[in-house]
Amino acid sequence: MLRIVQSALKARGVKVWTGHDHGINDKLRLADIAVALGGDGTMLRAARLLAPHSVPLLGVNSGGLGFLSGTDASEFKRYCDAILRGQFFLEERWMIEVEVQRRGRRIFGPNIALNDCVIRCADQARAISLRARSAERFVADYFGDGLIVSTPTGSTAYALAASGPIVDPSLDVLLIAPICPHTLTQRPLIIPASEPLSIRLTVRHPHDSAPKVLMSLDGQLGSSLQIDDEVRISRYERPFKLLLNPKRSYYEVLRRKLKWGER
Amino acid sequence: MLRIVQSALKARGVKVWTGHDHGINDKLRLADIAVALGGDGTMLRAARLLAPHSVPLLGVNSGGLGFLSGTDASEFKRYCDAILRGQFFLEERWMIEVEVQRRGRRIFGPNIALNDCVIRCADQARAISLRARSAERFVADYFGDGLIVSTPTGSTAYALAASGPIVDPSLDVLLIAPICPHTLTQRPLIIPASEPLSIRLTVRHPHDSAPKVLMSLDGQLGSSLQIDDEVRISRYERPFKLLLNPKRSYYEVLRRKLKWGER
Amino acid sequence: MLRIVQSALKARGVKVWTGHDHGINDKLRLADIAVALGGDGTMLRAARLLAPHSVPLLGVNSGGLGFLSGTDASEFKRYCDAILRGQFFLEERWMIEVEVQRRGRRIFGPNIALNDCVIRCADQARAISLRARSAERFVADYFGDGLIVSTPTGSTAYALAASGPIVDPSLDVLLIAPICPHTLTQRPLIIPASEPLSIRLTVRHPHDSAPKVLMSLDGQLGSSLQIDDEVRISRYERPFKLLLNPKRSYYEVLRRKLKWGER
Amino acid sequence: MLRIVQSALKARGVKVWTGHDHGINDKLRLADIAVALGGDGTMLRAARLLAPHSVPLLGVNSGGLGFLSGTDASEFKRYCDAILRGQFFLEERWMIEVEVQRRGRRIFGPNIALNDCVIRCADQARAISLRARSAERFVADYFGDGLIVSTPTGSTAYALAASGPIVDPSLDVLLIAPICPHTLTQRPLIIPASEPLSIRLTVRHPHDSAPKVLMSLDGQLGSSLQIDDEVRISRYERPFKLLLNPKRSYYEVLRRKLKWGER
């Protein structure tokens, strides 16, 4: 697939570097667009690399759901000229920036994520307590398997499995979805993304043994958490730029990939 | 209760009109604040009356959940001076404006609502088909008992009973929550409020008999719908201004009134 | 379709009556099997007619989901000999018997239903209070749009739209699923079918105006309810006998018709 | 608390052994009742110990939810005579027996559990594939965080957090509740407990790396699973006997402990 894409681009006089080329990070500054070959995992990794440089990404899907892909290998050649002529739609998606504080010191981050920040207990049959605050106001205490803090882009990823709503990706909101809450009264919550969110790992009973808790960004990088650690989540300052096929709306992609609303 | 509120206000030299006074609609233009005595139903009615005049409302709760109330009768006297001195928090909530089109002619509205626009089948054991479009783009076809289009304020009302998420009232979004969808794949959806939404009553099979379908705003005023009628929903241009006790955050109200997140 | 089925049966020397024949109810006693042509609504009506006579039913599906159908028109001829030779699987499904009591007198029923008994408010924006008792023990108070009391067969019908679980049709249980409950804490409940269930329409506040409430069986026959009316639901003494294609399991039908578990 | 219970029993001439006594397992055969002091975790452990000997258990709750407890420490003395006179209600709860097969060999069990058997992925951001069969018939393929197979007793434990229904503990059914399913179409399922259930860990793509998967019984004992391992679950032959206060129904306990149905 790499070869198809490369030769199609070179045939049109485009200078192509690959991720294996020497000094690729420096070259990102010179790039007009980046192309990622793979599935959604590849796209998520690419987003973290590209967003700081404002380089737009075209995803070429190879199997998997390919939610974020603009095209697939078989279509790539067909669309190549349209893409180079800028006829693909440039959609901005915002990302979250996350760091972890332990006793006043930063022990993780800041790192960025396109989909979500997941805080989850890794022990079997153990619930954890998490306290959410938005812009210094107390939001809620959560008790259960954990919590997903998701961008609109991430609302169709893991948050959907935790019964979260689907959120239009243009919206400037965060979705907080509890994972298997041990209370009958919890519900997903939509809050402004413009305000910093803090999630603190707390204890219900002072004598409880420490649970094993993991925080992960887009399921790809993360940190283990201790009691009283605070995960700070805010909107990342630069948008992630995504090249999408103008012929397919967000809702069409949902129907095709998720079978959303299908009978 | 009316007497308590009136005498407290008059004792402070405030000019008071009541809803029964002659020409009260004209006097709204002169009013600095309005006071509604009752529950949430009363508040919803008052919101429709006051929002066009930009008069802020203080709700004095008398039984019921009182989600939108700033105080209750027993506290009113205590807070009276603070309210008059402007020490209560003025929160702006946005409303929806709704009209119904039938064969190119408007048959209902425009009317406004603070919570929601509900489209529901009134026949027992009958499902209806609804097609949603946002800003002229196709969103989804729904098949089931009906649909709730809710403001953030309405997310804790009927939409919550239909498994919708809780939405921070400051957000500029609409929530679409299907009522008892007859497909396993439906989910609540959050879309931008800035774009007009259209819901059209459609038919699945051309020979089906016409169902009895009702559209209602805040459960208080409405219209019956025929096949092909289109309900148009957009953001109302003027905000509804609500006076709230600065000591109670939105999330505290959720916990106290809904027992949200409680064990 | 009627002609195809009739001629296929007559060609095999089977005596055929149709529903329009004179004295058809008497002839049911003589029948070995009944054939219903249509969708699930037709099957539900046939079940009520046939169960008292213990006549097994073969459903020949013509459009619609056809959950209860054993075959469709195109397959009927192919399977005809197998059916007559008794090679189709005879599955027993149990039904509910329902009556309504008002001030000590029966005002509806007893009537039977294969899927469900639905009690629902017909007013827009009105919640009703229902009190459930099983075998004279208090079960729960419900407040919301209404309640579905479903057999296992009905668990894939309306109860599924109300977030109920799927229940294996061989089980001797009742499913109680609240419709849009106005409390965060309600959940579907599975109870023994062997014990009589009572649902009483109650009031939350003595001065509330009377809501318009409907009770319906399989969405096909019903009664309006007044405050204090009691709906009594018990297991009907005779099973409904259904002829099913032995090659298709219950779970396969779920997957094919509901897309249950599909990606 | 132990002292209170012991002295109350001894004062009534009851012979008391404690779990620390030598040869306690042998003495279980001689015991008329067992008393467990603690929360639900203690009760679950006691159930596994006592069920094989058919010794009824009285749970004396000390903090926690105490779903299975018959009394608490403060009430124990008051109820002591009633308990010894057999005036407490003896409720039979059935348990599951679980073993794990790997390439034709048993690598875990048989062990028993009162609440549930949970199969869950321990890796962050990894979904697993599980194939369920009941009595050799294919039921469904699950893709997500995992699966809970629960007894009716366990339906108010972890299964409830995974959106399962509440199941009356007298019923002879199993509840299968998916944990965060990655498909929109999954639903909890109720099947007969009389038929053996098999859950096999499968792979979606042959080249996927092996996930870390754990199976646990009542969250207390378990095993790690490899691809193609099969978890076999059947009804344990002996009931677990629970002594309960006759004055409190199951539904009352749900309301008091879970706040089920509360506003």
A129: nearest Cα among B261, B149, B105, B66: B261
pLDDT greater than 90 at residue A18: no
Q: What is the pLDDT of residue A185?
A: 84
- pLDDT interval class at A29 (50, 70, 90): confident
pLDDT greater than 70 at residue D82? yes
Lowest mean pLDDT among A110-124, B2-16, D180-194: B2-16
Give the residue on D whose Cα is nearest the Cα of A157. D182
**CB neighbours (10 Å) of residue B93?**
20
Counting runs of H as helices and runs of E as strands, what totals does chain A give? 6, 17
Strands B34-38, B57-61: pairing is parallel
Are β-strands C57-61 and C240-244 bridged in parallel, bridged antiparallel, or unpaired? parallel
Q: Among A102-106, C103-107, D10-14, where is mean pLDDT lowest?
A: D10-14
Contact A185 C185 (CB under 8 A): yes
Specify the pLDDT at position C263. Answer: 63
Residues of chain A with CATH 2.60.200.30: 96-235
Which of A118, A182, A184 faces D124 most closely, judged by CB atoms? A118
Q: What is the pLDDT of residue A111?
A: 97
- Report the SS3 class of residue D46: helix
Most confident of B19-33, D209-223, D238-252: D209-223
Torsion sign over Cα C211, C216, C220, C221:
negative
Instruction: Kindly report, residue by residue over D152-170, the tens digit of the pLDDT.
Output: 999 999 999 999 999 999 9
Cβ of A263 and B138 within 8 Å?
Answer: no
Residue of D21, D26, D40, D123 marked active site: D40
Confidence of residue A76 (pLDDT cuts 50, 70, 90): confident
Q: Is C1 helix (H, G, I), strand (E, B) or coil?
A: coil
Burial A33-67, CB ≥16 within 10 A → b, else e: bbbbbbbbebbbbbbbbbbeeebbbbbbbeeebbb
Return d(Cα B247, Cα A206) in angstroms, integer: 30
Q: Measured between alpha carbons, how far is B32 from B43 in angstroms, rounded to an integer?
A: 17
Cα C19 from Cα C42, distance rounded (Å)? 12
Rg (CA), chain D: 20
- In this prediction, residues C205-222 reach a mean pLDDT of 87
Structure confidence by residue, pLDDT tens digits, C116-150: 999 999 887 789 999 999 988 899 999 999 999 99
Among residues of chain D, what percentage have pLDDT more than 70? Answer: 97
Nearest by CB: A185 against C184, C262, C263: C184
Mean pLDDT of C160-170: 95
Percentages helix, strand, coil for chain A (3-state, rounded to 5) are 25, 40, 40
- pLDDT, residue B263, reads 62
**pLDDT tens for residues A116-157?**
999 999 887 789 999 999 988 899 999 999 999 999 999 999
Q: Is D169 helix (H, G, I), strand (E, B) or coil?
A: coil
Mean pLDDT of C65-88: 82
Best mean pLDDT range from A51-65, A248-262, C154-168, D1-15: C154-168
Share above pLDDT 90 across residues of chain A, in percent, rounded to a whole number? 56
CATH 3.40.50.10330 domain residues, chain D: 2-94+239-258
Q: Which of B26, B32, B40, B229 is catalytic?
A: B40
Residue C161 distance to chain D (closest CA, Å): 11
pLDDT-derived band at D181, boundaries 50, 70, 90: very high
Please tell me the least confidently modeled range out of A45-54, A227-236, D202-211: D202-211
| CA B100 to each of CA A91, B108, B209, B218, C200: distance values in angstroms, whole numbers, following the listed order | 33, 5, 21, 16, 38
A181 → chain B, closest CA residue: B261
From D138, D185, D255, residue closest to C262, measured CB to CB: D185
In tens, the pLDDT along D98-139 reads 999 999 999 998 999 999 999 999 887 789 999 999 988 899
Find out whether B260 and B166 touch, Cβ atoms under 8 Å: yes
DSSP D95-112: -EEEEEEETTEEEEEEEE
The answer to whether the CB atoms of B143 and A263 lie below 8 A apart is: yes
Pick the CATH number of B96-235 from 2.60.200.30, 3.40.1080.20, 3.40.50.970, 1.25.40.10: 2.60.200.30
Query: What does residue D51 show for φ and ψ, rounded to 5 degrees?
Result: -55, -40
pLDDT at A263: 63
Q: What is the pLDDT of residue D25?
A: 75
The CATH class that applies to domain D2-94+239-258 reads alpha beta
Instruction: List all chains that touch chain D, counting a touch as 3 or more CB pairs closer than 8 Å.
Output: A, B, C
Binary contact (C219, B158; C-beta < 8 A):
no
Distance separating alpha carbons of residues B175 and B171, to the nearest angstrom: 11
Nearest to D68 by CA among D237, D254, D216: D254
Residue C247: what pLDDT?
79
Question: Which residues from chain B sit within 8 angstroms of residue A141, using beta carbons?
Answer: 261
CB A227 within 8 A of CB A210: yes
pLDDT for position D262: 67
ipTM for the assembly: 0.92
- The larger pLDDT score, comparing residue B105 to residue D69, is at B105
Of chain C, the percentage scoring pLDDT greater than 70 comes to 97
| pLDDT score for C242 | 93
The pLDDT value recorded for residue A189 is 96
Check CB contact under 8 Å for A166 and B175: no
Q: Nearest CA to CA, how far is A17 from chain B (Å)? A: 38
pLDDT digits (tens, 9 = 90+) for B177-212: 999 998 888 899 999 999 999 999 998 777 777 889
- The tokens describing C122, both together, are 């017909």
CA distance A59 to A15: 18
> What is the pLDDT at residue C219?
93
Q: Taking CA atoms, what residue in C is nearest to B178?
A: C161
Helices (H), chain B: 2-11, 24-27, 40-50, 73-84, 158-161, 250-253
C-beta of residue C199 within 8 angstroms of C-beta of residue C150: no
- Percent residues over pLDDT 70 in chain A: 97
The answer to whether D119 and D142 are in contact (CB under 8 A) is no
For residues B4 and D150, the model is more confident at D150
By the 8 A CB rule, do B167 and B152 touch? yes
* pLDDT score, position D259: 79
Chains contacting B (3 or more CB pairs within 8 Å)? A, C, D
Closest partner residue to D192 among C168, C249, C260, by Cβ?
A: C168
Rg (CA), chain B: 20
D185 contact residues in B (CB cutoff 8 A) = 184-185
| Chain-chain contact of B122 with C120 (C-beta, under 8 angstroms) | no
The catalytically annotated residue of C21, C26, C32, C40 is C40
Distance from CA of C123 to the nearest CA of D (A): 22
